[in-house]
Structure 1
Amino acid sequence: MRVAALIVAAGRGRRAVQPGGSAAGAESGLDETPKQYRQIGGAPMLSHAIRAFSDHGSVDEVLVVIHEGDQARYDEIAEGVSAKLKPAVVGGSQRQDSVRSGLEALAGDPPDQVLIHDAARPFVDGALIQRVIDSLKTTMGALPCLPVTDTLKRSKNGIVTETVDRAGLWRAQTPQGFRFQEILDAHRAAAGLSMTFTDDASIAEWYGLPVAQVEGSEANQKVTNSEDFVLAEARLMGATQLDGLRIGSGYDVHAFGEGNAVVLGGVSIPHDMALSGHSDADVVLHALTDALLGAIGDGDIGVHFPPSDQQWAGADSSVFIKDALRRVADRGGRILNADVTILCEAPKIGPHRDAMRGRIAELLALDVDRVGLKATTHEGLGAIGRGEGIAAMATVTINLA
């Protein structure tokens, strides 16, 4: 079963002009680049749709229908995308004409099925594509739909005249899938008629082809006007930022031993005991080190600074933090915030909180308002509650480039 994707990108998209000053819009002060070639997330909108179909394992070939004046623009984004991508064909003055041009171009070596998709829907995903393909196993046409959830009104001359019953009403999306020969025959039959068809399913309905409804996708929104581009850009930028977001957690505990001060968060706090352990036993910086390493999946403090290595005996724990920060930087990472909770019965943390936050902020190169530090007791429960030691938990958030 051979499946072709036909992407319609021949429109002018005048509703999506944006402030600018290109040669095309010099007189109006607007950039009149056709919307399918405008940038979203660092790439032309059309390229997102092309990649969605080219990368899909069930799609064998991809054909794009373009405006006759857009060949140079198209060539820039099509080069090297995929071996599945066929040379573009020129469309007509109406969407229906453009689809027919694409179907005729495929007719020389016809596929079994064709998916017809609007370039203005850049967020089509593989699951939706597959649902349409699967539906064509048992029907001649497949239409992705979503229910109408808003209340619908009919108006005349700006005055609301009627509330429309939305029961049974659906929002149509693309890709719309068809058995190839049947939809080609329908388009040929509809050529030259004075009727207006806004999508391919309506042509199939007019021709008498059964069209099955399949589940659409809320993410598969159509980008029509300038406001849509703002939302689409925010969506893609948000996805990129989230993709680079990493969260790490760390925990450390040390028992008390002889001494007259404890080191917490790089600050020496007078006390009638000290924490026992390798290095200076700073549980706060140790927990933070593990959180940093955990965020990038790079082991823990014991892997990089084993207790058996005597060179770290009594070491300032800032050494461990700086090494972890270097590892984060090597990955292109940036620290966004840190949060620490100290668990102990004594000493009192409150008088030293600001000093510890300041030192941690200095080590992590953060503003102090991005460092949280809290303390709590164990209410007399367990080893910490009996005053036998101090524990710390830390969480950090980083963003990888």
Structure 2
Amino acid sequence: MFMTKKIGVVIVAAGSGSRFGDPIPKQYHMLGGKSLVAHCIENFARHTAPDLIQVVYNPAHQDLYDAATNTLDGICTLPAPTAGGETRQQSVLNGLRALAGQNPDVVLIHDAARPGISDDVIARVIAALDTHSGAIPTLAVADTIKQADDSGVITRTIPRESLHRAQTPQGFHFATILDAHEKFEGQEFTDDAALLETLGLDVVCVEGTTNNDKITRRDDMDRAQDWVNTTQKEVSRMSQEEYRAGTGFDVHRFAPGDHCILCGVKVPHTARLEGHSDADVGLHTLTDAILGAIGAGDIGQHFPPSDMQWKGAASDIFLKHAADLVRKRGGRIVNADVTLICERPKIGPHTQAMREKVAEILEIDVDRVNVKATTTERLGFTGREEGIAAQAAVSVALPIN
């Protein structure tokens, strides 16, 4: 759960779902044993307190709502749903007003017809609100876009490079979006971000996912069922895994040179790191952490300094070897965290490139890799700028035998 912000959530579930072609609105249909709206509520309950989740519904659907949310009994207790309006925009405003007494810092506005919202997308929207007035998940448009006149004749091809498909949750600073909705009450916009765009406020796009596409028609439920099946298989697989933690520590002294290799990235400096290989202290300590997690000794046992074939070798060889040992055991690297300890060179400008390089070597998502730096306040050998130290922690999932 994110504790630095008080996060409110408005889940819009007041629509009739006329395009879905069923007398029961789509938000109350079952998917993997739970209603669409229940999927949404459970996903957001992992990121905020249940009393900050406000569902907006049609009171005529009270029985459907009660039945659809009964799977939440004992999991989370929500405030009473609030009635929607004639339009989606009015429904959102009603939800925001119902949340106002809770004084959230930010709010996420989500369509109940998007049950596939993931933790990663929610986290990206929340994080983007540190520096922007609003944030929305989007997907790049892959198809060629044609504009046509009323008779269907193409009038032009629209460049797709800057085009994005908008999803939800759309996140905003609470006071800002409430003020915008009240200012434009009675007018109609295509989504919540459009209100801030009209006011000249910045709304940033973050990466969405195809699982988060809106369920509009019947055949969309088949796609959503595929997502549920995949998720359930993942949960089943995880229940048959055990998690291991490993740590690593390494030190290399400085020698004459003009750059260091750190976490696979060439960093300009007034010295290089001395070692039998390329002396990448970051990758060495991470290699040791992975080997430790699976009980496979240390880097020196696998790549002895006495063996001249490793003289000047790129350290990604060592890290790939450790990752391959995990895969050969049917396991996976869950995450990796590296801390570089030095006064200089400055690591901050290079951490993103380092994360991407480590993720590439380990063949995992970059959001599972963290690289950071600290100093020893001018104390010790790193404080005297005699070398660099590094420590790492990893978690590894291995199948239970």
TM-score (norm 2): 0.54
Q: CA deviation at 1:210?
A: 1.7
Q: Check if 1:233 corresponds to 2:233.
A: no
Provide Cα deviations, 1:30-62, integer angstroms capped at 9, x if missing partner. x41001011112221111111100123588721
Q: Which amino acid aligns with 1:149?
A: A
Q: CA distance change for structure 1 residues 245 and 132 in 2, over 3 Å: closer, same or farther? A: closer
Partner of 1:176: 170
Q: Residue 16 of structure 2 contacts residue 25 of structure 2 at CA under 8 Å; is this kept in 1?
A: yes
Q: 1:212 to 1:81 in 2, by over 3 A?
A: farther
Residue of 28, 42, 51 corresponding to 1:37 = 28
| Higher alpha-carbon deviation: 211-220 or 97-106 | 211-220
Q: Residue 166 of structure 1 is aligned with which of 155, 160, 180?
A: 160
Q: Is the 8 A contact 1:3 1:60 kept in 2?
A: no
* Kept after mapping to 2: 8 A contact 1:4/1:59: no
1:7/1:63 contact within 8 Å kept:
yes
Residue 172 of structure 1 deviates from its aligned partner by 1.0
Partner of 1:267 in structure 2? none
Aligned partner of 1:134 in structure 2 is 127
Equivalent residue of 1:127, what SS? helix
Map of 1:2-401 to 2, 5 A cutoff? 2-17=6-21, 31-56=22-47, 61-79=52-70, 80=73, 82-83=75-76, 85-156=78-149, 157-193=151-187, 196-241=188-233, 243-244=235-236
Deviation of 1:97 (Å): 0.4
Which structure 2 segments of 5+ residues have no match? 241-401
- What is the SS of the residue equivalent to 1:108? helix
Q: What percentage of residue pairs aligned between the two structures are identical?
A: 43
- Contact residue 136 and residue 142 of structure 1 kept, 8 A: yes
Structure 1 residue 216 displacement after superposition: 1.7
Distance in 2 (CA, whole Å) between partners of 1:243 and 1:180 is 34
SS of the residue 1:150 aligns to = coil
Match of 2:136, SS state, is strand
In structure 2, the partner of 1:294 is none
Q: 1:127 to 1:242 in 2, by over 3 A?
A: closer
Residues in 2 aligned to 1:242 and 1:185: alpha-carbon distance in whole angstroms:
42
Separation of aligned partners in 2, 1:126 and 1:153 = 34
CA distance in 2, matches of 1:244, 1:102: 36
> Quick one: distance in 2 between partners of 1:140 and 1:241?
38
Match in the other structure for 1:355: none
Contact 2:38/2:68 (8 A) holds in 1: yes
**Which amino acid in the other structure matches residue 26 of structure 2?**
K
User: Which whole-Å CA distance do the structure 1 matches of 2:152 and 2:223 have between them?
Assistant: 28
Q: TM-score, normalised by structure 1?
A: 0.54
Change (3 A) 1:61 1:108: closer
Residue identity opposite 2:36 in structure 1: M
Stretches of structure 1 lacking an aligned partner (at least 5 in a row): 18-30, 249-401
Q: Is the 8 A contact 2:211 2:224 kept in 1?
A: no
Shift of 1:87: 1.3
Specify the SS of the correspondent of 2:110. Answer: strand
Deviations 1:316-356 (A, max 9, x none): xxxxxxxxxxxxxxxxxxxxxxxxxxxxxxxxxxxxxxxxx
Alpha-carbon shift at residue 112 of structure 1 (Å): 0.8
Compared with structure 1, are the counterparts of its residues 188 and 245 closer, same or farther at alpha carbon in structure 2 (3 Å cutoff)?
closer
Q: Tell me the CA shift for residue 241 of structure 1.
A: 4.6
> How much has 1:160 moved relative to structure 2?
3.2
In structure 2, C-alpha distance between the alignment counterparts of 1:122 and 1:234, rounded to whole Å: 13
- Residue equivalent to 2:277: none
Alpha-carbon distance in structure 1 between the residues aligned to 2:47 and 2:190? 27
The whole-number CA distance in structure 1 between the counterparts of 2:172 and 2:205 is 12
Cα pair 1:5 1:59 within 8 Å, conserved: no
Equivalenced residues, count: 232
1:145 and 1:40 mapped to 2: Cα distance?
24
Secondary structure of the residue aligned to 1:124 is coil
Letter in 1 for 2:15: G
Distance in 1 (CA, whole Å) between partners of 2:94 and 2:107 is: 13
* Cα distance change, pair 111–145 in 1 and its aligned pair in 2 (3 A): same
Asked whether the 8 Å contact 2:19–2:216 carries over to 1, the reply is yes
Residues in 2 aligned to 1:16 and 1:81: alpha-carbon distance in whole angstroms: 31
